[in-house]
Amino acid sequence: AQKVTQAQTEISVVEKEDVTLDCVYETRDTTYYLFWYKQPPSGELVFLIRRNSFDEQNEISGRYSWNFQKSTSSFNFTITASQVVDSAVYFCALPRNTGKLIFGQGTTLQVKP
Amino acid sequence: EAGVAQSPRYKIIEKRQSVAFWCNPISGHATLYWYQQILGQGPKLLIQFQNNGVVDDSQLPKDRFSAERLKGVDSTLKIQPAKLEDSAVYLCASSPDRAYGYTFGSGTRLTVV
């Protein structure tokens, strides 16, 4: 069965600190995608990244970076120099081949000024 | 391009009442999803449409929930009668096909009292 685990329920940091959000997944598929979404207080799910299982290179986008390790079934997300605007709930998700997304429980990030 | 539109944004009803949510996906997107997000959890798929056909409704409580997508465009999700445990955010998403370009709407926050 496919499953996504985000063990960190809540994380609180002070602005400018770096923070890593963990994601561990389970799948029997040999090829798959992984997603990260941000959900601010307004409620909308904002797409951050999609990663193909073929590509294990780390990806960096501004202050955001992602570490994909197939050997440990992890797809961790790091925010460098966090800002108050980064406060949100972050979800890791694994799509089934039908398109259905399997979400983790989410990690609530609070960045204090 | 216009995003996924949902209405209403908020709804409060008493238990045993009925309620309906509306979703207008991005023009041309064949696949439409309804997710239920209970507070503190990740979204869970209720139903998936491909054009106007149902792909997956395995998690839809069919004794009280119904959904339709007439003409393969707009969709409505109905709950009748509502229970307290139906309090959640109902998210609509669409994608061009079963490929992984999801766009989520802002959601409808339902409170059942």
pLDDT tens series, chain A, 113 aa: 899 999 999 999 999 999 999 999 999 988 899 999 999 988 889 999 988 888 878 888 899 999 999 999 999 999 999 999 999 999 999 998 888 999 999 999 999 99
Dihedral sign for Cα atoms in the order A68, B48, B40, A108: positive
- B83 and chain A: CB distance < 8 Å anywhere? no
Burial of B108 (0-12, 13-18, 19+ CB in 10 A): buried
Cross-sheet strand order for the sheet of B65-68: B5-7, B19-24, B75-79, B65-68
CB contact under 8 A, B100 and A50: yes
Closest CA to B23 of B73, B71, B65, B62: B73
- B27 and chain A: CB distance < 8 Å anywhere? no
First to last CA, chain B: 37
Cα dihedral: B62, B59, B52, A4 (round 10): 170
- B43 and chain A: CB distance < 8 Å anywhere? yes
